[in-house]
Amino acid sequence: MHTNEPFRLGIIGSGIVAALHVKAARTLPQVEVAAVCDIRTDAAEAMAADAGAAAYPGHREMLAAERLDGVIVTSPHTLHAQQTLDVAAAGVHVLVEKPMGTSVEDCTAMIEACRTAGVTLAVGHVMRFSETARMAEKVVSSGELGPVRAITHRRSARYSRDSRPAWFFDPALAGGGIVMNVGTHGLDRIQWLGGGEIETVHAHVWHRGGLEIETDAIGVAELSSGVKAGFTFTTAAVPYTDETLVLCEDGSLRWSATEGLWVSRDGEAEARLADPDEETADAFAAQLAAFVESCRTGTSPAVTGEYGRQVVSTVLAIYEAGS
Ligand SMILES: NC(=O)c1ccc[n+]([C@@H]2O[C@H](COP(=O)([O-])OP(=O)(O)OC[C@H]3O[C@@H](n4cnc5c(N)ncnc54)[C@H](O)[C@@H]3O)[C@@H](O)[C@H]2O)c1
């Protein structure tokens, strides 16, 4: 592939997050959304019309008909594995949405299929690409607050039947509830800022409203770096909460999706980034640009399949500990 040719992108699933990827692609001159698919053909056609792409009723039809450079998998969680295998078998690079899969075995099969095919496998832990994330990581790694000792993370996401597409409530398609879905973002953040992998976890997981998937989880974890972590994922927190507190030896860092990034030291608080409102779109664009760069240069993506698998394995450990 010549780098001055557009990177021809296909998207599996034409739902909520696919629209964010299309929007991101629009900001990148090197990327052309060539094709989209969805079993809901009306959704695929509407997205295709918006993106100037071709629409297909399924990913196999799309892969057979199109010459694609990369595909983003944005379907329900348990479908990620087989679709990734099919994309890899077609010799096409893959960016798979979080959670990478819903079992460690599936994730391993995805890693091996992409390795065998010689294609890039990246996992969509998109928060890594936000400006707040970059700045938070800079503060932590600069050592200005001393070593990290502990991290707490709280996140809300509404889990009621009227709040999101029906498949999120079906274990056969979602593979889990709030932890499998938004918990993966928080676990990524804890591990990234905590400088290690979660090794042990104690948790309590429960279901509300008669739902089969969990709506709430709390727990504590210990990382390979020695950092201790606590987390709360709940359907019940209103207003929206997405906040991480990094407790360091000489102060703390507060990362809030609604109130920005703060550093606290000696009783004084200083805003490092006050307005995170616009950054979701920028993070999706930065993630897509990095994916294209990895595909074109053959360099390892920022979020690898091995890392995505480790996050899935932590989600499953939380389920086991919490049951
Ligand atoms: N990175 C983020 O911040 C973020 C945000 C939202 C969702 N997500 C992830 O993105 C993925 C999709 O979530 P969503 O909110 O867009 O859900 P969604 O329901 O809006 O979209 C999923 C789409 O996949 C389609 N689909 C189902 N089976 C299919 C098949 N066999 N082939 C092709 N398409 C099929 C559905 O019809 C639907 O349109 C999930 O993995 C989710 O966790 C990530």
In a domain, 316, yes or no: no
Q: Hey, whose CA ends up nearest to atom 11 of ligand 1?
A: 74
Note whether 102 and 158 are same-domain residues.
no
In a domain, 1, yes or no: no
In a domain, 170, yes or no: yes
The pLDDT tens digits of the residues spanning 200-253 come to: 999 999 999 999 999 999 999 999 999 999 999 999 988 899 999 999 999 999
Record the tokens describing residue 143, joined without a space: 């050592």
In a domain, 243, yes or no: yes
Note whether 247 and 300 are same-domain residues.
no
Domain coverage including residue 143: 131-275
Q: Which atom of ligand 1 is nearest the CA belonging to 80?
A: 41
pLDDT the model gives residue 237: 80
Q: 81 or 276: which carries more pLDDT confidence? A: 81
pLDDT at 275 exceeding the cut of 80:
no
Query: SS3 of 278, please?
Result: coil
Calculate how far, in angstroms, residue 277's C-alpha sits from the geometric centre of ligand 1. 23
Query: SS3 of 11, please?
Result: strand
Confidence of residue 38 (pLDDT cuts 50, 70, 90): very high
SS3 readout for 164-197: CCHHHHCHHHHCCCHHHHHHHHHHHHHHHHHCCC
Probe residue for ligand 1, chosen from 56, 73, 75, 132 as the CB with the greatest number of ligand atoms within 8 Å = 75
pLDDT at 2 exceeding the cut of 60:
no
Note whether 249 and 172 are same-domain residues.
yes
Calculate how far, in angstroms, residue 253's C-alpha sits from the geometric centre of ligand 1. 32
The CATH number given to whatever domain includes residue 34 is 3.40.50.720
Note whether 157 and 187 are same-domain residues.
yes
Whole-angstrom distance, CA of residue 276 vs CA of residue 257: 6
Q: Which atom of ligand 1 is nearest the CA belonging to 14?
A: 39
Note whether 141 and 67 are same-domain residues.
no
Edge-to-edge strand order for the sheet containing 31-37? 54-56, 31-37, 7-12, 70-73, 93-97, 121-124
The pLDDT tens digits of the residues spanning 173-204 come to: 999 999 999 999 999 999 999 999 999 999 99
Whole-angstrom distance, CA of residue 255 vs CA of residue 246: 8
**Percent of the chain as helix, strand, coil, to the nearest 5:** 40, 25, 30
Note whether 139 and 232 are same-domain residues.
yes
Probe residue for ligand 1, chosen from 11, 22, 36, 38 as the CB with the greatest number of ligand atoms within 8 Å = 38
Whole-angstrom distance, CA of residue 196 vs CA of residue 126: 19
pLDDT at 268 exceeding the cut of 90:
yes
Calculate how far, in angstroms, residue 72's C-alpha sits from the geometric centre of ligand 1. 10
Note whether 79 and 142 are same-domain residues.
no
In a domain, 264, yes or no: yes
pLDDT at 3 exceeding the cut of 60:
yes
pLDDT the model gives residue 7: 98
User: Is 83:104 a contact under the CB 8 Å cutoff?
Assistant: no
Record the tokens describing residue 109, joined without a space: 């099969």
Report the number of distinct structural domains present in the chain: 2
In a domain, 186, yes or no: yes
The pLDDT tens digits of the residues spanning 39-52 come to: 999 999 999 999 99
The pLDDT tens digits of the residues spanning 16-32 come to: 999 999 999 999 999 99
pLDDT the model gives residue 302: 96
Note whether 96 and 165 are same-domain residues.
no
Probe residue for ligand 1, chosen from 11, 14, 17 as the CB with the greatest number of ligand atoms within 8 Å = 17
Whole-angstrom distance, CA of residue 261 vs CA of residue 274: 6
Confidence of residue 276 (pLDDT cuts 50, 70, 90): low
Residue position matching structure tokens 């009227």: 162
pLDDT at 314 exceeding the cut of 80:
yes
Calculate how far, in angstroms, residue 168's C-alpha sits from the geometric centre of ligand 1. 9
Whole-angstrom distance, CA of residue 194 vs CA of residue 131: 18
Note whether 257 and 215 are same-domain residues.
yes
pLDDT the model gives residue 279: 74
pLDDT the model gives residue 277: 63
Whole-angstrom distance, CA of residue 170 vs CA of residue 212: 7
Q: Which atom of ligand 1 is nearest the CA belonging to 19?
A: 16
Note whether 218 and 100 are same-domain residues.
no
Ligand 1 shell residues, CB under 6 Å = 12-18, 37-40, 43, 58-59, 74-77, 79, 97-98, 124, 126, 165, 181
Note whether 290 and 178 are same-domain residues.
no
Confidence of residue 274 (pLDDT cuts 50, 70, 90): confident
Calculate how far, in angstroms, residue 139's C-alpha sits from the geometric centre of ligand 1. 33
The pLDDT tens digits of the residues spanning 91-135 come to: 999 999 999 999 999 999 999 999 999 999 999 999 999 989 999
Q: What are phi and psi of 74, to 5 degrees?
A: -130, 35
Note whether 111 and 166 are same-domain residues.
no
Mean pLDDT of the chain: 96
pLDDT at 141 exceeding the cut of 60:
yes
Confidence of residue 294 (pLDDT cuts 50, 70, 90): very high
In a domain, 319, yes or no: no
Calculate how far, in angstroms, residue 242's C-alpha sits from the geometric centre of ligand 1. 21
